[in-house]
Amino acid sequence: MMRAVFLATLIACSGLGAATAGAQTLDARRLGMGGVLTSDVGDHQGSNIAFRAVPKGAAGSGSIPLPLGLIQYLSDHPTYDSKDSLFNVFEIANVFLNPPLTIQIVKPNVVEGDISVFVAQDSLRVDLADVKNVIPKNSMKQGGVYHIGGIGKSFGRAFFQVGPLIHLRNELTLSDELRKALRDAVPFTGNTRYGLTDEGRAQAAISFQAGYALRVLHQPSEGEKDSNDPRRNGVTALYVGGAPKYLIGIAYGSAESSGGVTTGDTLFAGSNPVTIDELTETRTSGVGGHGGLGTGFGSDVGAVFYFRNFELGLGLNDFGSQIKWKTTVRRHVYDDATNAFTTIQVAQDEEFTSRIPVTTTINVAKRIGRTTIAADVVDGDLRTMMHAGAEFWFGMIALRSGIYRDQNQMMQFTGGGGYRFGKIGLDLAIATNSRNIERERGAELSASLSLY
Question: What number of residues does the chain have?
Answer: 452
For the bound state, the minimum distance from the C-beta of residue 217 to another protein, rounded and expressed in Å, comes to: 58
Q: What beta strand segments (E) does 156-224 contain?
A: 158-174, 193-219
Distances from the Cα of 146 to the Cα of 164, 169, 358, 406, 436, angstroms: 8, 11, 12, 18, 21
CB nearer to another protein: give 163 or 264: 264
For the bound state, the minimum distance from the C-beta of residue 17 to another protein, rounded and expressed in Å, comes to: 13
For the bound state, the minimum distance from the C-beta of residue 194 to another protein, rounded and expressed in Å, comes to: 11
Rounded to an integer, what distance in angstroms lies between the CA atom of residue 425 and that of residue 351? Answer: 53
CB nearer to another protein: give 42 or 273: 273
Tell me the three state secondary structure of residue 206. strand
Rounded to an integer, what distance in angstroms lies between the CA atom of residue 411 and that of residue 153? Answer: 39
For the bound state, the minimum distance from the C-beta of residue 315 to another protein, rounded and expressed in Å, comes to: 41
For the stretch 423-441, what's the b/e string if a residue is b when 16 or more beta carbons lie within 10 angstroms of its beta carbon?
eebbbbbbbbbbbbbbbbb
CB nearer to another protein: give 134 or 358: 134
Rounded to an integer, what distance in angstroms lies between the CA atom of residue 241 and that of residue 49? Answer: 5
List residues bridging with 419 in a β-sheet.
Answer: 397, 426
Contacts to another protein by CB under 8 A:
1-2, 4-6, 8-9, 12-13, 15-16, 82-83, 85-90, 110-124, 126, 128-129, 131, 134, 268-271, 273
Number of C-beta neighbours around residue 344 at 10 A? 10
For the stretch 296-310, what's the b/e string if a residue is b when 16 or more beta carbons lie within 10 angstroms of its beta carbon?
bebbbbbbbbbeebe
For the bound state, the minimum distance from the C-beta of residue 272 to another protein, rounded and expressed in Å, comes to: 8
CB nearer to another protein: give 115 or 397: 115
For the bound state, the minimum distance from the C-beta of residue 118 to another protein, rounded and expressed in Å, comes to: 5
For the bound state, the minimum distance from the C-beta of residue 269 to another protein, rounded and expressed in Å, comes to: 5
Of 242, 230, 228, 220, the residue nearest 157 (C-alpha): 242
CB nearer to another protein: give 129 or 424: 129
How far, rounded to the nearest angstrom, does the alpha carbon of residue 334 sit from its chain's CA centroid? 33
* Burial classification of residue 120, based on how many CB atoms lie within 10 Å of its CB (0-12 exposed, 13-18 middle, 19 or more buried): exposed
CB nearer to another protein: give 109 or 342: 109
CB nearer to another protein: give 14 or 24: 14
For the bound state, the minimum distance from the C-beta of residue 271 to another protein, rounded and expressed in Å, comes to: 6
CB nearer to another protein: give 203 or 436: 436
